[in-house]
Chain A
């Protein structure tokens, strides 16, 4: 069975600090997809990134970067020079390719509540 663990329930940092959110996953499939979503106080989930299991290249998008390491089953998310607007709950999620080609729904971690203090 698939599982996603976000061990950090809440992180609080001061604005402009760098912060890393951890994500560890478990799956038996060799083909799978990893995601990060942001949930601001309004509640809607905002898609940030998708990675497939064959692509271990790290990715950078502005102040955001992601480190995917299959050897440790981790997909960590770093925010550089954090800003107050980054305050939200961040979810890591996994889908297995399986028979549905990855369309069978996501397995989410419990989320990390990130608080950026001014």
Chain B
């Protein structure tokens, strides 16, 4: 079954801790994205990557970091510098030249 897998589904972060959210896709898509969703809000772009070993900041990149060492994987680290990390995080991928993003099921991050 092809798709986008995000893990874990729920994640808790302690004060001062870095946590990493996983996003894996087996759709052979070139581009991958991370979005943050706050209650009653639309999604906001954190980071995106169009090819392996390259990524760009989105609108709210501060306090987050990413890597793209493999085409299938685009992990997001929420660092201790992100003072308000509680949100729903969605990962998406898109095939080259098609410009339609397909989303994973999301990770809900809370602060302890």
Contact = CB atoms under 8 A, between A and B. Distances in A.
A55 B97 CA distance: 17
A45 B90 contact: yes
A110 B42 contact: yes
Contacts of A106: 33, 43, 45, 101
Interface in B45-89: 45, 48, 50, 56, 58, 88
Contact of B44 (A33, A95, A108): A108
A62 interface: no
A50 B98 CA distance: 10
A87 B97 CA distance: 32
B48 A105 contact: yes
Interface residues on B, range: 20 to 34
Contacts of A102: 99
How large, as a class, is the contact surface on chain A? 20 to 34
Given A43-B106, A104-B48, A91 B97 contact: no
Given A91-B43, A105-B45, A50 B105 contact: no
Tell me the dominant secondary structure on chain A's binding face: loop
A92 B40 CA distance: 14
Interface of B: 31, 33, 35, 40-45, 48, 50, 56, 58, 88, 90, 92, 94, 96-97, 99-106, 108
10 contacts: A6-B42, A33-B99, A43-B90, A43-B105, A47-B101, A93-B42, A101-B99, A102-B99, A105-B45, A108-B42
